Structure 1
Amino acid sequence: MSTEKRLARYALTSKGTILFALIMLSIAVSAELTGPFIAKTIIDRHISGIEQPWYESETNEHSVQFDGNAYTREAYLPEHAWRGDEVQILQIGTGFYFTREPLPTEGERTFENGVLSIQQEDVTYTSAADTLTAQEVLSFYEPEIGFIVRWLLLYLSLVTIAACFHYGKNFYLQKAAHKIVQRMRVDVFNHLSKVPVRYFDHQPAGKIVARITNDTEAVRELYMTVLATFFSSFVYIIGIYFALFLLDVRLAVMTLAVLPLLFIWFKLYRKFAARLNRTIRAKNADINASLNENVQGMSMIQAFNQEEQQMNSFDQLNNEHYRAQANLLNVNSLTGHNLTFVLKNIVFVALIWWISGGTAGLVTLGVLYAFVDYVNRLFEPVNQVMNQLANLEQARAAGSRVFELLDEDGADVDDTSTPRPTGEVVFHTVSFSYVEGEPVLQNISFQAKPGETIALVGHTGSGKSSIMNLLFRFYDPTNGRITIDGVNTKNYSPQALRAHMGIVLQEPHLFSGTIASNIAYGKPDASKQEIEEAIRLVGGSHLFKNGLDEIVTEKGSTLSSGQRQLISFARALLANPAILVLDEATSSVDTETERIIQTGLQTLKQNRTTFMIAHRLSTIQDASHIIVLDKGIILEQGTHNDLLRKNGHYAHLYKLQQGQVS
């Protein structure tokens, strides 16, 4: 499904709000577009209308007293009212002239020595005329003032209505946009929990964050600004063309030539801008990833004096982003005001030629004013559309990146639960590869009985962590199978399996909150007494002077490594897992804290199957079973004493750590 269709599907989730906003927009646009028609009516009927026929009449509310007689415009005389002689008022420049012998209104007008002349090609029409004073002119306009005021009040009311509906449109479109993007961000975040761990192995955190924040924000602009602009412009253009055709069909047809030019320009813009916008979004994600990496590693950067090197690296990314932005700016400049300005002037030149050549026929001043007004208004929405093309393409590029993340294969979170297993774990000739053709585990077989402690030993890259990844079902074996209580782990949902498993890492991950909330992370409904008991059992009660409500910042940076590790132990204990994994859990703490932790470990390992990954062999001497790994295969396995008697690889490592060999 295309990006446009998927964005439309998200829009349909708030279709009621959007539809209501667009209806309000249509009403507002319709109200605004009455302006030129009202102006045309005022000009032709009430301002230029003074040159329409007047008749001597009986005195009435629309009559004017002049030279001892009452005169009324034909438009205001009832059908069967008495009419006397027809008279006429004509304007030349700023002067107005009264004649009792009506003349044609078309032609060149002159007034000299009391005679008014109208020149039409080879024919001249003349009549005696009186020059009207300013007061007399005002008296002839007096019947029109009430009508003009009413039209202006109507226009003011329509403008007020349009403003109210524009406010409503903005409010509801923004509300819909926020709701859509909120739903999109929730969908993306929820999908992240379904995506296999392998995805995060190859994606920097900064890039993922950029998709959830920056890219969805660009999509929000689509629904809030671009959609409103395109729809309002569409309504404006349709309304304006409707009005133009009402005014003069031939002049309206002439302006239709603008539309195919705009369509061609639109297609050309999208061809060039789409590629540039995708590049910009990608570079922006790279910048986010670089910032995330630098902020997290700032202490290491400063420790090794790498500030300048990191600055150069960031500067290169920033320059690449700038160049892409500059290229897009060039494209946008060509499609913005310059294009619409040129097209508008072409239309005006054609209009002047059309009217001056007489091709358009008789055009009243009101029609001409309204037509020019509508043509000016026609290019306002066109210009707005052109200015929003950049945002449209940015939203499309951002949307495609969001949907790429949503299209990553994932498994739905399964809420089904399984009974707590006894903890018997068996690996049956398990092989595994992260990359096809590059095995990291080969024919691994061992058994862990309930309550036993299994230690995994080996150099970096020997496969210890890979075994744990398979046990937690972050990955599944390439060959062989893993069973828990005799059931293949593939028959469990990952969530049901992990509900009975716990892990303590070498560098425990703490979340922003309190010490108590971090301990209760695996059991959110735990009581305060349960949390306090958990930290007491692992021996950490006295290490937190401010109590369990102490605030924990991101990653627990204000706590010592020993405190963080004790919180991690208490968290695992409170969750009460049947299977526990300890990944170098004591390697980063001092001797005194390790002694406390070792005491806590005895409590933690009771009544559960425990897997320990260790480099310091002194910490695993009490293990029920030790498995020695090398390059993904099992070299040796047995108890500590058994392996020492074999005098093999394990015995060599142990003696080396004890300083018994050089």
Structure 2
Amino acid sequence: MRSLMKYIRPFFGYIAATLSIKFIASIVELFIPLILATIIDDIVPTGDVRAIFLWGGMMALCAVTALVGNVVANRMAAKSSGSITEHIRHDLFYKISFLSARQLDQFTIPSAVSRLTTDTYNVNQMLARMQRLGVRGPILLIGGIIITMIMDAGLTMILLLTLPIIAVLVYAVTKKGIPLYTKQQGVLDRMVRVVQENITGARVIKALSKSSYERARYDRVNNDLADVEQHAGNVMAITNPGSTLILNLGLTLVVAVGAFRLNAGLTSSGVIIAFLNYFTIILNAMLGITRIFVLCSKGEASAKRIAEVLRTPQDLTVEPADEKESEVPTPAHIVFDHVCFSYEKVKANVKDLSFSLRRGQTLGIIGATGSGKSTIINLLMRFYDVDSGCILIDGKDIRTIEPTALQKKFGVVFQNDFLFADTIEENIRYFRALSREEIADAAQAAQAQEFIDTVGMDYGVLARGNNLSGGQKQRLLIARALAAKPEILILDDASSALDYKTDAVLRRELSRRHFGTTSIIVAQRISSIKGADMILVLENGSVIGCGTHDTLMKTCAVYQEIAESQMGEGAHTDA
């Protein structure tokens, strides 16, 4: 809850006004049964019709005032809680956007989604209900007890006996409920992950006839969530009926004792009727307070999950340049100097990796799945920090370069990149200050202009590019990477959907139009990297071959096997 205070603090004045209106409306509401008792006991026996209408008008005025005050305060509560939640959601999204890849791996994307949606909604409900019931409930409860104490202390004592029992019940249930709601949100994270995987992989699931399996997997996590929700609901459901039962038993005793006191002349009928009204008000106030505890249980669990993200320290900080200087000065554009890295810090994903590239050179990387190809890209773009060694760009350790400056050096196409629902032009521009001529030039270099000419730059692309072929999507993504004329171009298996002819033309255009750009191409096809200045062959995170295509065909058996499987026995001759 402490983490929410910095978001609540700017709205203190507005919330104070809301609570003040609620306070006034609640006080006015408390006078209604008292006026009724006065009318029954003091006004009706006199037969003064004018006085009856006068006091009745006062009752009506109090009722209208309470109604208007509550409506206005409720609207104000909704506005302030919505604004506070908006700021929380903004900061949470901003924080998640700048989490390092390692931190995001720890939280997981489904968990980040549920924290941004369900958890912020729970906090919103908690803030709104606390303003709506947080003042009204206690005022009606305490005010009702004070007034009934003044009217008849004996009957009030019966009421007071029920309150400690209710307090113990609410405390016990709330203490049990918070961990259950925390567990519920964790299961919800799993459900979001399953749904996300099913929606993303819908085509693969259908193609492999795994719809039944995925439905069963969804049913399992759905049942787990239902079980946790039911358990939490069963625990929290004790509060309202338990409180109602205790208060109604107290009300029954009030009626019974009140009857005896009325016969004994110790109280009046007006007091009994007013007392019953106050008892109803107190009952509703107690139920409102118990509802607050239920919402606070969910809200506190969600607030802790949100605070966990917001309090996460910045992981990849910019380090002083003098602490990370390369021991071997080099004019190379990119240098990997004895780099080692492990995602889980158990088994190395990259071991003792060293190479250097001059500006404008092309590096090809090939190897089996899991050999560390994409890891090299992740480390170069500083999505993760190396465990040992260093990576230099223009002689500077990337850990000493500001993130924005580092990112501007790259144009990149990842294995699983995305297109968003907008025009082709905006997908290539991607919110950068690029002219249409620069976009057209990038599309031409990426061999995308031919199909763009048939549909137009304003053609609407569906989310994830579902109305484009695989090759068309890859060419648009390559055009996006080229559009800003980056220093370093990274293509991580970015031409797998292209035919050999288009792939060859693309490589020729890249070398002609972007000859000053240092390129790193991760590929499964040797034809995509055959002309590279340097080729790395990876196996289990280690370099088992390094050199040009011709050199590797003579010195690296693994490379030879890949070449023969893809290009036939003529590969040796071509070499």
Q: How does the TM-score come out when normalised to structure 2?
A: 0.90
Counting only pairs closer than 5 Å after superposition, residues 273-312 of structure 1 correspond to structure 2 as 273-312=177-216
Residue in 1 that maps onto 2:325: none
**Alignment partner for residue 180 of structure 1, among 73, 80, 84?**
84
Amino acid at match of 2:136: S
Normalized per residue, the structure richer in helix is: 2
Name the CA distance, whole Å, in 2 between partners of 1:628 and 1:451: 21
Residue in 1 that maps onto 2:14: 17
Q: Deviations over 1:257-285 (max 9, x none)?
A: 23322221111111222232223222222
Assess, with a 3 A threshold, how the Cα gap between structure 1 residues 604 and 472 changes in structure 2: closer, same or farther. Answer: farther
Assess, with a 3 A threshold, how the Cα gap between structure 1 residues 598 and 447 changes in structure 2: closer, same or farther. Answer: closer
Question: Does the 8 Å contact 1:194/1:411 carry over to 2?
Answer: no
Amino acid at match of 2:243: L
Residue in 1 that maps onto 2:498: 589
Q: Does 1:334 align with 2:334?
A: no
Query: Which segments of 5 or more consecutive residues in structure 1 lack a partner in the other structure?
Result: 51-140, 415-421
Counting only pairs closer than 5 Å after superposition, residues 415-564 of structure 1 correspond to structure 2 as 424-521=333-430, 524-544=432-452, 545-564=454-473
Name the CA distance, whole Å, in 2 between partners of 1:647 and 1:301: 38
Name the CA distance, whole Å, in 1 between partners of 2:115 and 2:193: 11
Residue in 1 that maps onto 2:290: 386
Identify which range, 207-216 or 397-406, moves more after superposition: 397-406
How much does 1:652 deviate?
4.0
Between the aligned residues of both structures, percent identity stands at 28
Question: Does the 8 Å contact 1:229/1:384 carry over to 2?
Answer: yes
Name the CA distance, whole Å, in 2 between partners of 1:285 and 1:461: 27
**Alignment partner for residue 408 of structure 1, among 312, 315, 331?**
312
How much does 1:584 deviate?
1.7
Assess, with a 3 A threshold, how the Cα gap between structure 1 residues 214 and 338 changes in structure 2: closer, same or farther. Answer: same
Q: Deviations over 1:38-68 (max 9, x none)?
A: 11221222113x3xxxxxxxxxxxxxxxxxx
Q: Does 1:580 align with 2:484?
A: no
Name the CA distance, whole Å, in 2 between partners of 1:478 and 1:647: 28
Aligned to 1:612, the other structure's residue is in SS state strand
Assess, with a 3 A threshold, how the Cα gap between structure 1 residues 374 and 205 changes in structure 2: closer, same or farther. Answer: same
Bigger RCO (CA 8 Å, 6+ sep): 2
Assess, with a 3 A threshold, how the Cα gap between structure 1 residues 621 and 327 changes in structure 2: closer, same or farther. Answer: closer
Counting only pairs closer than 5 Å after superposition, residues 216-295 of structure 1 correspond to structure 2 as 216-295=120-199
**Alignment partner for residue 47 of structure 1, among 31, 44, 48?**
44
Assess, with a 3 A threshold, how the Cα gap between structure 1 residues 329 and 507 changes in structure 2: closer, same or farther. Answer: closer
RMSD between superposed Cα atoms in Å: 2.6
Assess, with a 3 A threshold, how the Cα gap between structure 1 residues 247 and 543 changes in structure 2: closer, same or farther. Answer: same
Aligned to 2:134, the other structure's residue is in SS state helix
Assess, with a 3 A threshold, how the Cα gap between structure 1 residues 411 and 512 changes in structure 2: closer, same or farther. Answer: farther
Name the CA distance, whole Å, in 1 between partners of 2:336 and 2:555: 24
Amino acid at match of 1:390: V
**Alignment partner for residue 3 of structure 2, among 3, 6, 26?**
6
How much does 1:368 deviate?
2.7
Name the CA distance, whole Å, in 2 between partners of 1:299 and 1:26: 58
Name the CA distance, whole Å, in 2 between partners of 1:43 and 1:358: 14
How much does 1:189 deviate?
0.7
Residue in 2 that maps onto 1:56: none
Question: Does the 8 Å contact 2:410/2:486 carry over to 1?
Answer: yes
Q: Does 1:36 align with 2:33?
A: yes
Question: Does the 8 Å contact 2:33/2:274 carry over to 1?
Answer: yes
Amino acid at match of 2:443: I
Question: Does the 8 Å contact 1:440/1:463 carry over to 2?
Answer: yes
Amino acid at match of 2:545: E
Aligned to 2:359, the other structure's residue is in SS state coil
Normalized per residue, the structure richer in strand is: 1
How much does 1:513 deviate?
1.9
How much does 1:294 deviate?
1.0
Aligned to 1:33, the other structure's residue is in SS state helix
Q: How does the TM-score come out when normalised to structure 1?
A: 0.79
Amino acid at match of 1:46: I
Question: Does the 8 Å contact 2:96/2:104 carry over to 1?
Answer: no
Residue in 2 that maps onto 1:642: 551
Question: Does the 8 Å contact 1:191/1:410 carry over to 2?
Answer: no
Q: Does 1:27 align with 2:24?
A: yes
How much does 1:191 deviate?
0.6
Residue in 2 that maps onto 1:628: 537
